[in-house]
Amino acid sequence: MLTIYNTLTKKKEEFVPIVPGEVKMYVCGPTVYDYFHIGNARSFIISDIIRRYLEYKGYAVKYAMNLTDVDDKIIKKANKEGVEAKQVAEKFSKAFFEDIAKLKIKKANIYPQATGHIEDIIALIKKLEENGYAYNVNGNVFYNVNKFEGYGKLSGKNIEELESGSRVEINEEKNSPLDFALWKKAKEGEPFWDSPWGKGRPGWHIECSAMSCKHLGETFDIHAGGNDLIFPHHENEIAQSEAATGKKFVNYWLHFGFLNIDNEKMSKSLGNFFTARDILKKYPAEVIRIFFLQTHYAGPLNFSDELLDSAQKGLEKITNLAEKADQEIAGNTGSAAVDFDFKKFYAEFEAAMDDDFNSPQGVAVIFDFVRAANKAIAENPEAGKSFYKDIKSFLQKTAADVLGIVDFSALEEESSASLENELIELLINLRLDAKKEKNFALSDKIRNELNSLGIVLQDGKDKTTYKKSK
C-alpha cells in the first residue's frame, strides 16, 4: 500500500487515485529567465522519480510541468539585456530542456506555457469575478483573500496574523495587503494581451491554476513543488481554483525540502549559487541523482563536493555489478543454478518506496542487493546466464527505471568503445611487428584499412598513436 505525506492534512495517507489505475500529477516548473539552479534540480529529479515509481506500480501517469514564460523576472532580464521578453523566455526554455535531458529526467506528457493559455487564464479570472472573489481597480484585478474561508489551510497560516504582520508591499489599490494580483495592467515596454479589463498580463499564481485545471481537470491527484512554494503560491492556487469551481482542487500535496550549500543557504550574494549546468560539468547525472536520493525528499539537504564524491564512490559499486552482469550475459558459459532470493529484494524496495517514497531506504536496499549478489558470484564461479539476467533485471527495474542511477545503454556503449580501442591497439602492434619483419606490404595494408574506417595512424619517434576522423 502506497502512503504519501500530504501537506494539506499534515499526515501520511493511503494513496487512492481519483480514477483507478490512473494518476494526474502537476509539478511547478521553472520561470524561464535564467539557467535553473541545483535547488530546482532537486525538485525536478525527485518529481521524476515519484512519477517513475508510480509507473512501476502500474499506474498510467499524466504528468504536467508548467513553464512560466511571462513574469517580472523575465521582463527585468529582458530590459537589462535590451531584448524582448519573449527572446529571454525562448532562450532559457531551450536551456531547460537541454539540462533536464542531461539529468536523465523523463519528459513530461505536457509542458504548458503561460503565454499559450492566456484565454484560459482570462476565463478563470472572469469566473472569479462573477463569483465575487475578484475585483478590478483601474485595470488591475485582485483576488479578495478575505472572501475565501479556507485561506491558510495548506500552509497553516492564520489570516488575521498574516494581515497584522504582513510584509507584502503596500498597494493602496488593494482591499487587503494579502490580496494578490490576478491580472496586471500593462506598463510601458512590457508584454501585454487584450482582456476585459484592458491591456495587461496575468499574475503568477493564476497561471498555474488555469494550466493545471485545463490539462488535468478541476480536481486532480498530486501537486508537487518546493517547500518555498507552499505560501503564498500554492495557497493562492487553492484559493483561486476552489473559488472558481466550487470543488476540491488537489487531493495530495507533496513538498520538497530546502537545499543548503556547505551548510549555508544557497544565494547569489554569498557566491555559493550553482546552476545545474555548473554541477553537470563536474559530475554525471547518475551521481547527482543518487546524491539527492540519499536524503528523504521532504528533508533539508546539504550540498557539497565531499558528499557528491562519496555518492560517486557508492554508485560505482552498483555500476560495477551492472557491468559484470552485462559481461556475463554476453560471454558466460557456466550452467550452475544459484539459490538467490530476488523476491526478497523486490519486496524490500517496494516497501521502502511505498512508505512516502522513502528513497534513502530504497537506495539502501539496492546496496544490500549488490553486496549479496557479489557474495553469491564469489561463491558460485560457474553460475549460469540466467542468474546474471536476473541480476540485470532487478537493477534495470529499480536502479535504472525507477531511480535513474544506472544507464545500461551507456554502459554497453562504453563497453563497445573499450573493445574497439583494444582492437585498434592490437592492429597497431601487429603492424609494428610486420615493420620489424620488413613486411611492408602488410604494414601498409593495416594502415590503409584502418584509415578507410576513419582511424588515422600517426607514427612518432617512440610509438604509434591514432585519432578517429569519423
Q: What is the DSSP string of 407-429?
A: -HHHHHHHHHHHHHHHHHHHHHH
Q: pLDDT value at position 405?
A: 97
Cell 553537470, located at residue: 280
* Residue type for position 143: Y
CATH code of 3-256, in short, is 3.40.50.620
Instruction: Give the Cα separation of 97 and 56 in Å (integer).
Output: 24
Q: Taken in order 301, 304, 308, 310, is the CA torsion positive or negative? A: negative
Same topology, domains 3-256 and 315-406? Answer is no
Strand partners, 301: 259
Q: Are 232 and 28 in contact (CB under 8 A)?
A: no
Which CATH architecture best describes the domain 315-406?
Answer: Up-down Bundle (1.20)
Range 172-199 average pLDDT: 94
How many other C-beta atoms are found inside a 10 Å radius of the C-beta of residue 415?
A: 14
Distance, CA of 97 to CA of 94 (rounded, Å): 5
Euclidean distance between CA atoms 39 and 231, whole angstroms: 17
Q: Where are the domains of the chain?
A: 3-256, 315-406, 410-468
pLDDT tens figures, 6-49: 999 999 999 999 999 999 999 999 999 999 999 999 999 999 99
Cα first-last separation, the chain: 53
Look at strands 250-256 and 259-261 and give their pairing: unpaired
Question: For residue 153, which amino acid is it?
Answer: K
Q: Mean pLDDT over residues 249-275, rounded?
A: 86
Cα–Cα dist 68/283, whole Å: 28
**Tens of pLDDT along 54-83?**
999 999 999 999 999 999 999 999 999 999
- Report the percent of the chain where pLDDT is more than 70: 94
Backbone region of residue 36 per phi and psi (left: phi > 0; alpha: psi in -120 to 50; beta: other values): beta
Please tell me the least confidently modeled range out of 43-52, 184-193, 365-374, 404-413: 404-413
pLDDT at 420: 63
Residue 413: the pLDDT is 52
At 139 the pLDDT is 97
For the stretch 221-246, pLDDT in tens is: 999 999 999 999 999 999 999 999 99
Out of 131-140, 256-265, 358-367, least confident range: 256-265
User: CA-to-CA distance for 69 and 71, rounded, in angstroms?
Assistant: 6
- Whether the bond between 202 and the residue before it is cis, its omega within 30 degrees of 0, is no
pLDDT tens string 131-142? 999 999 999 999
More confident residue, 255 or 441: 255
Cβ burial, residue 199 (10 Å; 0-12/13-18/19+):
middle
pLDDT, tens only, 141-167: 999 999 999 999 999 998 888 876 655
pLDDT bucket at 465, cuts 50 / 70 / 90? confident
Class of residue 219 by CB neighbours under 10 A (exposed 0-12, middle 13-18, buried 19+): middle
Cα 119–chain centre separation:
29
Which pairing describes strands 250-256 and 220-226: parallel, antiparallel, or unpaired?
parallel
Cell readout for 266 is 544557497
Residue 445 has pLDDT above 70, yes or no: yes
Pairing mode of beta strands 200-202, 220-226: unpaired
Q: What share of the chain is helix, strand, coil (3-state, %, to 5)?
A: 50, 15, 30
- In this structure, are residues 14 and 1 in contact, taking their beta carbons and an 8 Å threshold? yes
Cα–Cα distance, 292 to 360 (Å, whole number): 9
